[in-house]
Structure 1
Amino acid sequence: MKVSAIILGGFLFFSVSFGGGIAWLVSKLFQNSTAALSLLCGGFLIGLLALDIIPSALKMYKSIGIILGVLFGYLFFLVLRNLFHPSADNNPSVYLLMLAILIHTIPLSMTIGSLMESSIVGITITASVILHHLPEGFALTTAFLSQRKGTCKLIFCFLSLSICFSLFIWIGHYVNLSTKEQGVLMGISIGLIAATSISEFILHNVKIVPVKFFITYIVMGYLLSTLFHLLL
């Protein structure tokens, strides 16, 4: 069990790193422009929510739990934003996004933990882990590049995400969350990602670039998310 959880954590690290590599290549097209990368990330996250996370959550969990979680997530975002931006800093907070993605992985990892002893689902789970987290790696890396954070910090975030993923797989082997509790966690993740993408990555750049480019960068981010959705 422990070995399997660690291996899956390794697959997650590979997945987000590969997604990060794609983001690095895309950033070269934008010549590492801070505003452009922020808007690209914002559009990508909106697409990720609309095409993948929200539809999947609505299929798996009850709407009331998701809505309650979204409200908690937004309130949580307001509190964390005040902590991360005590001086009204205009840079988007990658740590809010990191936290949102971490919370997003908890229901999935605990579900995997409950299924780990079934050899039938092993290959399916491994493939899911590898593919499912490519977009998260892309989004995190774009956010880090837009805020000009160091590569070491990005790798540390990837490692932390992988370790937490393995940890919650192990916890899920012994503890079962109810469907309502999983729905609330997923709602919190949705609320945090939505608030962060709109407030921190998009609205902060409204006056920085011309309207034409503002819309173009967001649409390009959304289209990239659509491409990930179609390919994965």
Structure 2
Amino acid sequence: MTIIILGICLFLSVSTGGVLAWTLAGLFKDKIGGCSLLCGGFLIGLLTLDIIPSAWSAYYPFGLLLGGLLGFFFILVLHSMCNHSHTSSLYLLAVAMFIHTIPLSVTIGSLLDDPALSLTMTTSTILHHLPEGFALATVALSTGNKWGSLTLCFIGLSICFASFIWIGQQAPLSFKIQSILMGVSISLIGCTSMKEFIGQYIRTVPLPAFLTYFGVGYLFSGLFHLWL
């Protein structure tokens, strides 16, 4: 498969995840807090069930921790410089997803000369981005963003994926740099989830409803994890 075809496949994967989220959103129509908590639960599940365990076993722990600190300080600086907006939440999470894609893309690029390994890893990675599309679409729904912004994020994610596959072919990033980038991504996703989609509703949504919305989001993340 060429790099362009891989990018198109990733776009189709995240778009499918987005359509699934849009379909589910009918259950939470006019419930902004519920939709945000659903998104927060899904993202926390994505981190705890999939991203963190996989990253911890595949990358340097020190690099992950360093990247986590860098991501945390980036969030602090960003919020001190910019006024919060719903659109910025979507794009901040999109940036986290872009960074998360880089180490995987570089690895695929470095293995493209081995047809057996590259096909297996590419298929797994493309399917793995169904939850990312689901998460970004849920964020867009909970923050009132429209399909235009979401489609822009999907296209950007696909371009990032294809671009770093090419970089992996030409000049692969060092394993230490990949570890730091993965740590930054985890930190950005975690901080955004806790602050934007969970923290602001702890006191405003009744506890039973809070646990229900969060639990449903976490459950969907678990289902994705088992399926993929």
TM-score interval, normalised by the smaller of the two chains: over 0.9
Q: Partner residue of 2:29?
A: 31
Q: Partner residue of 1:18?
A: 16
How far 1:92 sits from its partner (Å)? 7.2
Q: Partner residue of 1:229?
A: 225
How far 1:174 sits from its partner (Å)? 1.1
**1:82-97 residue pairs with structure 2 within 5 A?**
82-84=80-82, 86=83, 93-97=89-93
How far 1:91 sits from its partner (Å)? 7.8
Q: Which structure 1 residue ranges, 4+ long, deviate > 6 Å from structure 2?
A: none
Three-state SS of the structure 1 residue aligned to 2:51 is: helix
TM (norm. structure 1) is: 0.93
Q: Is 2:62 the partner of 1:58?
A: no
**1:44-193 residue pairs with structure 2 within 5 A?**
44-84=42-82, 86=83, 93-193=89-189
Q: Partner residue of 1:7?
A: 5
How far 1:205 sits from its partner (Å)? 1.6
TM (norm. structure 2) is: 0.95
Query: Quick one: which amino acid aligns to residue 77 of structure 1?
Result: I
- Aligned counterparts of 1:17 and 1:90: Cα–Cα separation in 2: 21
* Unpaired runs of at least 5, structure 1: none
- Aligned counterparts of 1:122 and 1:37: Cα–Cα separation in 2: 37
How far 1:129 sits from its partner (Å)? 2.9
**1:188-207 residue pairs with structure 2 within 5 A?**
188-207=184-203
Number of residue pairs matched? Answer: 228
Moved more, 90-99 or 201-210: 90-99
Residues 1:92 and 1:42: Cα distance change in structure 2 (over 3 Å) = farther
Give RMSD over aligned pairs: 1.6
Q: Partner residue of 2:205?
A: 209
Moved more, 117-126 or 14-23: 117-126
- Aligned counterparts of 1:100 and 1:196: Cα–Cα separation in 2: 9
Tell me the percent identity. Answer: 53
- Aligned counterparts of 1:181 and 1:66: Cα–Cα separation in 2: 10
Contact 1:110 1:169 in 2 (8 A): yes
How far 1:157 sits from its partner (Å)? 0.9
Moved more, 67-76 or 117-126: 117-126
Three-state SS of the structure 1 residue aligned to 2:94 is: helix
Contact 2:104 2:125 in 1 (8 A): no
